[in-house]
Amino acid sequence: MGYDELMPVSRLGVDGLGGLGATVVDALDTAMIMGLDDVVSEASSWIESHLLDRIRQKGQVNLFETTIRVLGGLLSAYHLSGGDQGMTLAQKGPKPTIYLDIAKNLADRLLSAFTSSPTTIPFSDVVLRDSSAHSAPDGLSSTSEVSTLQLEFNYLSAISGDPKYSTEGMKVLAHLKTLPKTEGLVPIYISPHSGEFSGENIRLGSRGDSYYEYLIKVWLQLRDTQDGNFTYLHDMYEEAMRGVKHMLVQKSTPSELVFVGELPVGPKGYLSPKMDHLVCFLPGTLALGATKGLTKEKAMKDNLLTFEDLDNLKLAEDLTKTCFEMYSVTSTGLAPEIAYFHTKDYFESGLDGGNKSSEYVNDIIIKHADRHNLLRPETVESLFVLYRITQDPKYREWGWQIFESFEKYTKVESGGYSSLDDVTTVPPPKRDKMETFFLGETLKYLYLLFGDSSVMPLDKFVFNTEAHPLPIKSP
Ligand code: DMJ
């Protein structure tokens, strides 16, 4: 209790995120949603007794990771425990204002990343105990990191009545709007010193992913508020999705799985056919952007879907299948961290996932260095969103298969679940690490996938990138 990440095999813990007890904070709202009163009671009493001291005393933390996991977790706990006349899912635990007070104290320190920077682009790292901030050693911030703070900062401003959090966060998005892009797509690095993008690498995987996710989610969060016009976010999102379809979407051979490659085009003249598991957030985001959280049936009935929305929904369904097949194609039924795809231009033999009965065993390549599984959530997140929106039971069936593989190969009998070193080997060697997002995201999305659709409806809640639901406030 109180470590950032847990080591379930050795039954120890490790502070890989700066020492704010990230697992217990990230997991709290999952326990609330599941109605696990005893867990909520134990977790919330740790937070009430220890978290503020940790925030006052700890050193360097990453602005983005701390915002999405710790601040996001506190904000959801605030709402779910009845704050802001929110839901009262937690019968046990402290008053909601405790979560709000801790969230404000933390966010006040995180704000130094914005205020110390010479531009509107925040530094990547904050030293909590003295509220100072600095850039990473290479002087750069990740594009996804600077653009994945706004849901949390906006909600904190709304519930605290202090606009400063939202103001700083939204300045970043307003600035990003002015920068040159490639068909709406952006490089994965940005300089807080110049305010300009850096390098040529464009991808929807690591360091790029949630830039695209927050464009549409922040728009959904703010579109009905009266202060400000946020249509530019929707425009940026739509342009980017057109860019994805035009520049990055490819089909594998021989069985035509749709995947999202990476730029730049290599020396041989073709796109890199590499897809991080992280990209599997995209189908959920595309489906959400298309129907705005309504079911497809309702959105169609009310004539709300444009041709582009339907096209995005189709891409969402195709990509969800690919993400599921990245699991199905391995011997363990669990996806690797990164997959490559055979295409008309790219071939590498002898690197399949090991499940010879998969129809796609010849389409997907898994390189030795990419065979690990960190219990990541993106595919089950998209299965949850696609199920809610299309109501197609196949998404539950796929989710159940993935859940059974997690149970079979990652569960540690004495408690916890472990990351794996190699998903193509049975039994897969365990890594002895449970990332915080397994409890914060993976299990929450699986639980919601099999639950009633009236719980956390997608037109009333927006999930931050770490699966913490925040209510969309009415005007
Ligand atoms: C999580 O911390 C978030 O989902 C983030 O957006 C991406 N990486 C991890 C999960 O894979």
| Dihedral sign of CA atoms 305, 308, 314, 318 in order | negative
**Which CATH number is associated with domain 249-469?**
1.50.10.10
- Ligand 1: centre distance to CA 95 (Å): 29
Q: Whose CA is nearest to atom 10 of ligand 1?
A: 376
Residues near ligand 1 with C-beta < 6 Å?
68, 210, 278, 376-377, 437, 441, 465-466
**Is 337 a residue of the active site?**
yes
Per the prediction, the chain carries an average pLDDT of 97
Tell me: is residue 343 an annotated ligand-binding position. no
318, 395 Cβ separation under 8 angstroms: no
Domain chopping of the chain, boundaries: 1-148, 249-469
Nearest-CA residue for ligand 1 atom 6 is 465
Give me the mean pLDDT over the 90-108 stretch: 90
pLDDT in tens, 313-356: 999 999 999 999 999 999 999 999 999 999 999 999 999 999 99
For 72-81, what is the mean pLDDT? Answer: 97
What separation in Å is there between the alpha carbon of 456 and the centre of ligand 1?
20
pLDDT score of 475 more than 50: no
pLDDT at 94: 83
pLDDT of 93? 76
Check if 378 is active-site: yes
Looking at ligand 1, which residue's alpha carbon is closest to its atom 3? 466
Task: Please report which helix (H) or strand (E) contains residue 338, including its range.
Answer: strand 338-341
Tens digit of each residue's pLDDT (9 = 90 or more) over 144-191: 999 999 999 999 999 999 999 999 999 999 999 999 999 999 999 999
CB atoms within 10 A of CB 119: 16
For 216-236, the pLDDT digits (tens) are: 999 999 999 987 799 999 999
Question: What separation in Å is there between the alpha carbon of 44 and the centre of ligand 1?
Answer: 23
Residue 434: half-sphere exposure toward Cβ, Cα within 13 Å: 28
pLDDT tens-digit readout, 390-407: 999 999 999 999 999 999
Residue 35 has what pLDDT?
A: 96
Percent of the chain with pLDDT over 70: 99
The pLDDT score that the predictor gives to residue 240 is: 98
The mean pLDDT value for 274-299 works out to 98
What pLDDT does residue 284 have?
A: 99
Which of 10-14, 91-95, 425-429 has the weakest average pLDDT? Answer: 91-95
466 is catalytic: no
Q: What is the b/e burial string over 305-315, where b = at least 16 CB atoms within 10 angstroms of the residue's CB? A: beeebebbbeb
What are the tens digits of pLDDT across the range 128-151? 999 999 999 999 999 999 999 999
Beta bridge partners, 276, equal 338
For residue 369, pLDDT beyond 80: yes
Q: What is the largest CA-CA distance in the chain?
A: 60
pLDDT for residue 303 is more than 80: yes
238 is catalytic: no
Q: How far from the centroid of its chain's Cα atoms is residue 219's Cα? A: 17
